Amino acid sequence: MRNVKSRLNVIFLFLAVLASLLFARSGCSGQTFKAKVTKTIDGDSIQIRYEEKTVMVRLWGIDTPEWKQPYSQTAKKFTNRSVYRKHITLEVKDWDKYGRMVAVVTTDSGKCLNEELIKNGLAWVHIYYCKEPVCEKWKRFEGNARKNQLGLWQEKKPIPPWVWKRK
Protein backbone atom coordinates (compact mmCIF):
# COMPACT_ATOMS: atom_id res chain seq x y z
CA MET A 1 0.00 0.00 0.00
CA ARG A 2 2.81 2.38 0.92
CA ASN A 3 4.53 1.77 -2.45
CA VAL A 4 1.30 2.49 -4.38
CA LYS A 5 0.77 5.70 -2.41
CA SER A 6 4.34 6.79 -3.13
CA ARG A 7 3.88 6.14 -6.86
CA LEU A 8 0.61 8.05 -6.88
CA ASN A 9 2.34 11.02 -5.22
CA VAL A 10 5.08 10.97 -7.88
CA ILE A 11 2.48 10.75 -10.67
CA PHE A 12 0.46 13.58 -9.13
CA LEU A 13 3.59 15.77 -8.82
CA PHE A 14 4.55 15.01 -12.43
CA LEU A 15 1.06 15.93 -13.67
CA ALA A 16 1.07 19.15 -11.64
CA VAL A 17 4.43 20.20 -13.11
CA LEU A 18 3.29 19.26 -16.62
CA ALA A 19 0.06 21.24 -16.20
CA SER A 20 1.94 24.31 -14.99
CA LEU A 21 4.31 24.15 -17.98
CA LEU A 22 1.41 23.79 -20.39
CA PHE A 23 -0.38 26.66 -18.66
CA ALA A 24 2.66 28.92 -19.05
CA ARG A 25 3.04 28.06 -22.75
CA SER A 26 -0.67 28.57 -23.43
CA GLY A 27 -0.36 32.33 -23.05
CA CYS A 28 -2.43 32.55 -19.89
CA SER A 29 -1.48 35.54 -17.82
CA GLY A 30 -0.96 36.03 -14.16
CA GLN A 31 1.72 33.43 -13.49
CA THR A 32 4.60 35.01 -11.57
CA PHE A 33 8.04 33.74 -10.65
CA LYS A 34 11.54 34.95 -9.85
CA ALA A 35 14.59 34.56 -12.09
CA LYS A 36 18.05 36.00 -12.66
CA VAL A 37 18.86 38.17 -15.68
CA THR A 38 21.87 36.84 -17.59
CA LYS A 39 21.89 39.18 -20.58
CA THR A 40 20.39 42.41 -21.89
CA ILE A 41 19.47 42.00 -25.56
CA ASP A 42 18.06 45.49 -26.12
CA GLY A 43 15.82 47.97 -24.31
CA ASP A 44 12.81 45.68 -24.19
CA SER A 45 14.36 42.19 -24.38
CA ILE A 46 16.36 40.28 -21.80
CA GLN A 47 17.60 36.76 -21.22
CA ILE A 48 16.94 35.01 -17.92
CA ARG A 49 18.03 31.82 -16.21
CA TYR A 50 15.19 29.87 -14.63
CA GLU A 51 15.25 26.26 -13.42
CA GLU A 52 18.43 25.45 -15.37
CA LYS A 53 16.93 26.89 -18.59
CA THR A 54 17.79 30.01 -20.56
CA VAL A 55 14.64 31.92 -21.53
CA MET A 56 14.31 34.99 -23.74
CA VAL A 57 11.89 37.59 -22.37
CA ARG A 58 10.18 40.46 -24.22
CA LEU A 59 8.80 43.25 -22.03
CA TRP A 60 5.02 43.33 -22.35
CA GLY A 61 3.03 46.38 -23.42
CA ILE A 62 5.92 48.61 -24.47
CA ASP A 63 8.30 49.09 -27.37
CA THR A 64 11.74 50.67 -27.14
CA PRO A 65 13.63 52.09 -30.14
CA GLU A 66 15.02 49.57 -32.61
CA TRP A 67 18.72 49.08 -33.33
CA LYS A 68 20.08 52.18 -35.13
CA GLN A 69 17.08 54.27 -34.03
CA PRO A 70 17.86 57.25 -31.81
CA TYR A 71 17.86 56.27 -28.12
CA SER A 72 18.05 52.51 -28.75
CA GLN A 73 21.39 52.26 -26.95
CA THR A 74 20.18 54.56 -24.16
CA ALA A 75 17.17 52.26 -23.59
CA LYS A 76 19.42 49.19 -23.63
CA LYS A 77 21.81 50.75 -21.10
CA PHE A 78 18.86 51.73 -18.85
CA THR A 79 17.53 48.16 -18.93
CA ASN A 80 21.02 46.78 -18.33
CA ARG A 81 21.60 49.03 -15.29
CA SER A 82 18.18 48.11 -13.91
CA VAL A 83 18.27 44.32 -14.16
CA TYR A 84 21.50 42.75 -15.46
CA ARG A 85 22.79 40.04 -13.10
CA LYS A 86 19.95 40.80 -10.71
CA HIS A 87 16.95 38.83 -9.55
CA ILE A 88 13.64 39.97 -10.97
CA THR A 89 10.00 38.97 -10.73
CA LEU A 90 8.20 38.20 -13.97
CA GLU A 91 4.46 38.21 -14.56
CA VAL A 92 3.89 36.12 -17.66
CA LYS A 93 1.43 37.68 -20.09
CA ASP A 94 1.98 35.60 -23.22
CA TRP A 95 4.49 33.82 -25.47
CA ASP A 96 5.25 35.44 -28.83
CA LYS A 97 5.70 33.89 -32.27
CA TYR A 98 9.48 33.79 -31.72
CA GLY A 99 9.12 31.63 -28.60
CA ARG A 100 9.90 34.47 -26.20
CA MET A 101 8.10 34.88 -22.93
CA VAL A 102 6.23 38.21 -22.87
CA ALA A 103 6.13 39.59 -19.33
CA VAL A 104 5.92 42.49 -16.94
CA VAL A 105 9.25 42.71 -15.11
CA THR A 106 9.64 43.97 -11.56
CA THR A 107 13.13 44.80 -10.33
CA ASP A 108 14.58 43.65 -7.03
CA SER A 109 13.84 47.16 -5.69
CA GLY A 110 10.13 46.76 -6.51
CA LYS A 111 9.99 48.99 -9.60
CA CYS A 112 8.22 47.91 -12.79
CA LEU A 113 10.87 48.01 -15.53
CA ASN A 114 8.26 48.34 -18.29
CA GLU A 115 6.84 51.42 -16.55
CA GLU A 116 10.24 52.94 -15.73
CA LEU A 117 11.26 52.84 -19.39
CA ILE A 118 8.11 54.78 -20.29
CA LYS A 119 8.52 57.30 -17.45
CA ASN A 120 12.09 58.01 -18.57
CA GLY A 121 11.10 58.59 -22.19
CA LEU A 122 12.78 55.43 -23.45
CA ALA A 123 9.71 53.49 -24.62
CA TRP A 124 6.31 53.87 -26.21
CA VAL A 125 3.20 52.22 -24.81
CA HIS A 126 2.57 49.66 -27.55
CA ILE A 127 -0.62 50.68 -29.37
CA TYR A 128 -1.34 47.15 -30.63
CA TYR A 129 -0.64 45.07 -27.54
CA CYS A 130 -1.24 47.20 -24.46
CA LYS A 131 -4.99 46.93 -23.90
CA GLU A 132 -5.30 46.38 -20.13
CA PRO A 133 -6.27 49.01 -17.52
CA VAL A 134 -2.61 49.58 -16.53
CA CYS A 135 -2.00 50.81 -20.08
CA GLU A 136 -4.04 53.95 -19.39
CA LYS A 137 -1.70 54.81 -16.52
CA TRP A 138 1.29 54.08 -18.75
CA LYS A 139 -0.13 56.36 -21.46
CA ARG A 140 -0.27 59.18 -18.90
CA PHE A 141 3.39 58.51 -18.02
CA GLU A 142 4.25 58.58 -21.72
CA GLY A 143 2.38 61.88 -22.11
CA ASN A 144 4.33 63.33 -19.19
CA ALA A 145 7.65 62.19 -20.71
CA ARG A 146 6.61 63.80 -24.03
CA LYS A 147 5.63 67.04 -22.32
CA ASN A 148 8.92 67.18 -20.43
CA GLN A 149 10.93 66.10 -23.49
CA LEU A 150 12.56 63.18 -21.71
CA GLY A 151 14.67 60.68 -23.63
CA LEU A 152 13.44 59.98 -27.15
CA TRP A 153 10.86 62.77 -26.82
CA GLN A 154 13.70 65.25 -27.33
CA GLU A 155 13.51 64.30 -31.02
CA LYS A 156 11.25 66.46 -33.21
CA LYS A 157 9.24 63.52 -34.55
CA PRO A 158 10.32 60.24 -32.97
CA ILE A 159 9.27 57.27 -35.08
CA PRO A 160 7.62 54.40 -33.18
CA PRO A 161 9.46 51.08 -33.65
CA TRP A 162 6.43 49.40 -35.26
CA VAL A 163 6.55 52.10 -37.97
CA TRP A 164 10.37 52.03 -38.23
CA LYS A 165 10.33 48.26 -38.90
CA ARG A 166 8.03 48.73 -41.91
CA LYS A 167 10.55 51.00 -43.67
Specify whether 52 is catalytic. no
Query: Which listed residue (7, 25, 49, 66) is catalytic?
Result: 66
Structural domains of the chain, count: 1
Residue 97 above 60 pLDDT?
yes
- Is residue 60 over pLDDT 70? yes
pLDDT at 75 over 50: yes
Per-residue confidence (pLDDT) for residue 24, from 0 to 100: 41
- One-letter-per-residue 3-state SS of the chain: CHHHHHHHHHHHHHHHHHHHHHHHHCCCCCEEEEEEEEEEEECCEEEEEECCEEEEEEECCEECCCCCCCCHHHHHHHHHHHHCCCEEEEEEEEECCCCCEEEEEECCCCCEHHHHHHHCCCCEECCCCCCCHHHHHHHHHHHHHHHCCCHHHHCCCCCCHHHHCCC
What pLDDT digit, counting tens, does each position of 119-130 carry? 999 999 999 999
Does residue 81 have an active-site annotation? no
For the domain that residue 57 is a member of, what is the CATH number?
Answer: 2.40.50.90
Per annotation, catalytic residue among 25, 49, 51, 58: 58
Which member of 2, 52, 81, 100 is catalytic?
100
Boundaries of domain holding 69: 2-164
Q: Give catalytic status of residue 58 as yes or no.
A: yes
Is pLDDT larger for residue 12 or for residue 143? 143
- In this prediction the pTM is 0.82
